[in-house]
Homo-oligomer: A and B are copies of this chain.
């Protein structure tokens, strides 16, 4: 139920990498793909879609590449992942990409579903990418791993503590 598509994962990777670029700098798909060790053609598609979603800017031609359209603090997890998730809603009755459910007005599960769905969406759209991936030091050649730091997720209070 929670699994992200590979495209989403690649999108998050890309946005993370774009996040620690110097201002005005750009990075090309082949470079990105090699750094993260992921299929270049697929990443290319992902980037196109990110552009269409307005999250990144692109420049064509040799020495072209991508850059963030706005800082990671202004991109939510939902923004980043939304374009790649076919089934973003819990059930057909609360999903944008489905023609709904004919039982919707005769289903005692509908209201709870809708409520939970709305809550989850709210969570994911109040989580900025900057929070999610606490952007860390520059990329070492071939390996982008960085020392562990507690993310802001871990500091979010659980509902039962509220």
A interface residues (Cβ-Cβ under 8 A, vs B): 1-5, 8-9, 12-13, 16, 36-37, 77, 81, 85, 87-91, 95, 103, 105-112, 115-120, 122-123, 126-127, 132-134, 136, 143-146, 148, 151, 153-154, 156-160, 162
> Could you say which residues of chain B place their CB within 8 Å of the CB of A134?
112
Q: How far is the CB of A92 from chain B (nearest CB, A)?
A: 9
Residues of B within 8 A of A126 (CB): 158-160
Q: A81-B1, A126-B159, A162-B156 are in contact. Are A133 and B119 (CB under 8 A)?
A: no
Sorted from nearest, which 8 A-B pairs have the closest CB atoms? A3-B87, A115-B153, A108-B144, A1-B85, A112-B133, A156-B159, A106-B143, A115-B151
Supposing A108-B136, A108-B146 touch, asked if A3 and B154 sit within 8 A by C-beta, the answer is: no
Each complex incorporates copies of this chain amounting to 2
Cα–Cα distance between A8 and B123 once the two chains are bound (Å): 22
* Given A1-B2, A87-B3, A108-B133, CB of A162 within 8 Å of CB of B160: no
B3 contacts A122, CB within 8 Å? no
Residue of B nearest to A82 (CB): B1
Minimum CB–CB distance from A38 to chain B (whole Å) comes to 9
Which single member of B88, B110, B162 contacts A162 (CB below 8 Å)? Answer: B162
Cα distance A112–B145 in the bound complex, in angstroms: 12
